[in-house]
Structure 1
C-alpha cells in the first residue's frame, strides 16, 4: 500500500470510529452534553482529528445523521432483500419503515438538536421538509412500492402520511419513552391493511 493509500485508509477508519463513538455517546447523553473531547477519547483519536474532520460539534452531529440516512439509502438501492431489490413491494415497504423507525429512534435527540437542518426531518435554510433530497428519495421509494401493488390509491399522499410519523411531535415523544416497537407495529398494521399479501388478495388460505 502506498503512503497516500495508507493515509486515506487511516482517515476512513478514523471517520468511522468518530461517528460510531458519537452514536454510542448519544445513546446515553443529550447532544448538548457531548463534547468534542469526549468523542475523541471514545474514538481513540486526538481532539484535533475530530475538529479537522468535522469542524464543530454541529458539523459532527450533522455528518452522523447524514451518514445514517445514506446507509439506509444504500441498503435500499444495492443491499439484499427485503430492503433491497428482490422482495415483493409490500415486504420492501415494511422493511423500509422498520429501518426508518429504528434510525429515528436511535437518533431522536440528535434530530431535535439539529432542528430544521436535519436531513430526515427538514431541509436546510428552513425550506419545506419535502424539498430535502433525502425526503424526496424516501417519498419516491414509498410511493413507488405502493404503486406497484395498489395503483388505485393516492400513493403520493400516502407516502407523505407514512413519512409524517417520523417527525410528529407526539410520535417523537413516544420514541423518547422507548415506544419504537409500538410505532413499528402500528405502521405495519396500516401497510398490511392497505397491501394484503398474495394469499389474502386471491382468497387462498
Structure 2
C-alpha cells in the first residue's frame, strides 16, 4: 500500500471528496419546495371554514364528505387528499382550541397550570373543559363522540394530565380512575345536560368542582 493510500487514498480520495463537496453545494443551491402549495393551503382553509359552518348548523354526526366538498366548492378528490372522513375534519378544527388549553395546563399559572394541589388543578381543568365544550360543542360532537373519542390525541393528553394528578395525590391504582374522572367531559353528556336538562354551565361546573375535591380528598389516596 502506498504512502498516499495509507493517508486516505491520495489524489483519488481527494478527487472524490471534492466531488462530494460539489454535490452537497449543488444540493444546497436547489430551490426548496414549499410544504404545501398556495392553492392547497387555500383549499384547506375553504374546507375547514365550510365544515365549521356545517357542524354548527346541523347535527355534526349527519355531516358527510359530499356536503363538506360542496359547501367548500372543491372536488371530492381534493377533499380526500387532506381528510379521510368528517371526523378528521372536525378533529383538525378542534385541535387548535385544544392545543391552547394544553399549553395552559403545562405552562400556565395555577391552579390550571403547575403549582396548585391536585384537587384544585383537577377542578380548574374541569372548568376549562366545560368552557371549551360550551364554545365548540358542534366540533367536539363531530370529532370526539363514541369510541372515536378515546383514539384522539387530545384524549390521550387529557388522560396523561389527569393520571399525573392522581399519581401526585398518591392514588395507588390510577389507571381505572383516570377514565372515570374524564367521563363527565363527554361531549354527548355535556349536550344532554345543556340541551335536554337545561343545566347551566355554572351549575355543572360547581358539581364537577365538588366532584374533583371528593375524588381527591386531602390526605386520602384511593
Q: Aligning the two structures, in what range does the TM-score lie when normalised by the shorter sequence?
A: 0.5 to 0.7
Q: Post-superposition shift, 1:163?
A: 0.8
Count of residue pairs brought into register by the alignment: 180
State the Cα RMSD in Å: 4.2
State the match for 1:26 in structure 2: 55
Larger radius of gyration between Structure 1 and Structure 2: 2
Which residue number in structure 2 is paired with residue 160 of structure 1?
A: 179
Q: Matched residues in 1 for 2:111 and 2:56: separation? A: 25
Where structure 1 has 5 or more consecutive residues not aligned to the other structure, the ranges are: 41-45, 124-131
Equivalent position of 2:129 in the other structure: 100
Give the aligned partner of residue 81 of structure 1.
Answer: 109
TM-score for both structures, normalised by structure 2: 0.56
Name the CA shift for 1:33/1:92 in 2 (closer, same or farther; >3 Å): same
| CA gap 1:37/1:135 in 2 versus in 1, 3 angstroms | closer
- The SS at the match of 1:179 is coil
Q: How does 1:101-116 map to 2 (within 5 A)?
A: 101-105=130-134, 106-107=136-137, 111=141, 115-116=145-146
Matched ranges for 1:1-205 at <5 A: 4-5=33-34, 7=36, 11=40, 15=44, 18-31=47-60, 32=62, 35-37=67-69, 39-40=71-72, 46-48=73-75, 50-65=79-94, 68-77=97-106, 79-82=107-110, 85-88=113-116, 89-105=118-134, 106-107=136-137, 111=141, 115-116=145-146, 118=148, 121-123=149-151, 134-148=154-168, 150-151=169-170, 155-167=174-186, 171-177=190-196, 179=199, 181=201, 182-193=203-214
C-alpha distance in 2 between matches for 1:12 and 1:91: 41
Q: How many angstroms apart in 2 are the aligned matches of 1:26 and 1:50?
A: 16
Q: TM-score, normalised by structure 1?
A: 0.59
Is the alpha carbon distance of 1:174 and 1:112 closer, same or farther for their aligned partners in structure 2, counting shifts above 3 Å? farther
